[in-house]
Amino acid sequence: MENPPDDLGINASLSEIRSRNNRELCRTSTTVGANWHADYAKSYHGGLVQIEIQFATVESMFKDFCGFRIASYERRLALGIEIVLMSPNQFFSHRRNSITGMAYYEIAVKTLMVIGLNCPIWLIGIEE
């Protein structure tokens, strides 16, 4: 699908959105040499916002959190946004095998509380 659903009110095609994604801003690190990128990033009034959308494993979500922490440590990140499913069991009810170990909102909240990162992370849970 090239265009978002009409009811979302997004007046840009997928290719337009991708063309505005500055991959250099998505870099996790400029000093450590970690060679991975956030899914999307944008600079707002001089502050870097990185977005990760995680429909994979808890380990992948943890890597996202580490990326936010590294960018924050380098004084580049103003806000990290992590988007996960509220309940993968409902969303993928037809594919139970694919959700084993999948990241979801409740585990993300618990993980953030336990690891205690001192960087700004906005956790968003989405439902079907």
pLDDT in tens, the chain (128 residues): 567 677 767 777 778 877 777 788 888 888 888 788 899 998 888 889 999 998 888 899 999 999 999 999 999 999 999 999 887 666 555 555 555 678 888 989 998 899 888 889 999 998 86
Fold of 6-126: Restriction Endonuclease (3.40.91)
Please give the backbone phi and psi of residue 84, each rounded to the nearest 5 degrees, phi first.
-135, 165
> Domain ranges in the chain?
6-126
Which residue from 121, 79, 81, 88 is spatially nearest to 106, judged by alpha carbons? Answer: 88
Long-range CB contact pairs, 34-43, < 8 A, 24+: 34/67, 34/70, 36/63, 36/67, 38/64, 38/67, 38/80
